[in-house]
Amino acid sequence: MSTNPALSEADLARLSSRRQLPPPVPAYLPTGPNSPLTVDKELYSKIQTAPRVLDQSFTLPIRSGKAWTAPAGSIIRISTPEGPQVGDLNIWNQQNPSERFWASRTRQLHSTHLSTHNRLWSCLPYMRPLLTIISDSLSWYGRDNNGGRVHDLLGTRCDPYINHLLSAGQSYDYHCHSNLVRAVKEFGFEEKDVHDVINLFQVTGLDEKGRYCMSACPAEKGDSIEFLAEVDVLMALSTCPGGDLSLWGFGADSEKEMEKCCRPLKVEVFRLEDRGLLEREGWKPAEVAGYKGNHGLADEPKEDEA
């Protein structure tokens, strides 16, 4: 019985009837080996371990952002060269800023936190994987004693608007949102193109009341996550001004305080040495979902008449 005094007898009776529910099954389990949600693990392992050539490499300083392109079939590695640090990542179709990572659908299709062989899907009306995770040195983390997991899709980027609201009018220009806004400018993308992120290396969970909680980043020097680009992508990363989140807070001195736990992130883009491997193995860039986009509108032919 609930100990909540605000509940009426009727509420308690309704609550009691809901206690008999059978355990639910995940809503989007793959339906078979050919499901778009099924990743060919053998193939992706072969790609991950194949000899590769470094095409791009840079280290992202603390509290900054940078964007870069990576062609379909390339491997992107993001690592923590000096120890724990969370990174906020955005992804777009390189040619089309309207096609971007869709965090909430990805969360439904896979999980609240991502790891090896999960995919990062694009928004409507496109709906295809932009990236597939091919390795994750934190895949051992699982679920910690607070219910926390790593590589977060529950939350979003820190931003100066909510900070202004919660920190008594304080203006700070190096939140992840702002870092991403500055980063994408050189590619002609704008603030409106910045979207909900995956928080790499970030541990989050929900407490017993469903509230969003964070724990300190578990990464050590040299931890990494690797992605295969499923289409030509533009990516942008921010080194969160909260650093490893061990000192997270709001208020007058919070930015100064958190700088003590800020570290850089490293980005590398590789191509496979054997350029024909992907094609020979049957891999090809992801295609958009086949729905014709009629939506039952009167002047459009119906799906089954088209």
* Binding-site ranges for Zn ion (CB under 5 A): 158, 176, 240
Q: 148 or 241, CB closer to Zn ion?
A: 241
**Shortest Cβ distance from residue 182 to Zn ion (Å)?**
14
**Shortest Cβ distance from residue 93 to Zn ion (Å)?**
24
Q: 70 or 176, CB closer to Zn ion?
A: 176
Q: Which two tokens stand for residue 121?
A: 């899907």
Nearest to 67 by CA among 194, 226, 202, 152: 194
**Shortest Cβ distance from residue 239 to Zn ion (Å)?**
8
Question: Please, what is the Cα angle at 155 between 151 and 160, to 5 degrees?
Answer: 120
Q: Which two tokens stand for residue 214?
A: 């964070």
89: helix, strand or coil:
strand
Give me the residue label for tokens 């459009």.
Answer: 300
Q: Where on the phi/psi map is residue 18: left (φ > 0), alpha (ψ -120 to 50), or beta? A: alpha
Q: 158 or 261, CB closer to Zn ion?
A: 158
Whether omega before 5 lies within 30 degrees of 0, making that bond cis, reads no
Q: Which amino acid is at 24?
A: P
**Shortest Cβ distance from residue 213 to Zn ion (Å)?**
16
Beta bridge partners of 37: none
Q: 176 or 267, CB closer to Zn ion?
A: 176
Nearest to 151 by CA among 244, 217, 213, 102: 217
Q: Which amino acid is at 195?
A: H
Q: 176 or 219, CB closer to Zn ion?
A: 176
Contact yes or no for 234/187 (Cβ under 8 A): yes
Contact yes or no for 114/198 (Cβ under 8 A): yes
**Shortest Cβ distance from residue 158 to Zn ion (Å)?**
3
**Shortest Cβ distance from residue 212 to Zn ion (Å)?**
14
Q: 107 or 157, CB closer to Zn ion?
A: 157
Contact yes or no for 138/219 (Cβ under 8 A): yes
Q: Could you give the CA distance from residue 39 to residue 139 in angstroms, rounded to a whole number?
A: 17
Q: 88 or 99, CB closer to Zn ion?
A: 88
**Shortest Cβ distance from residue 139 to Zn ion (Å)?**
23
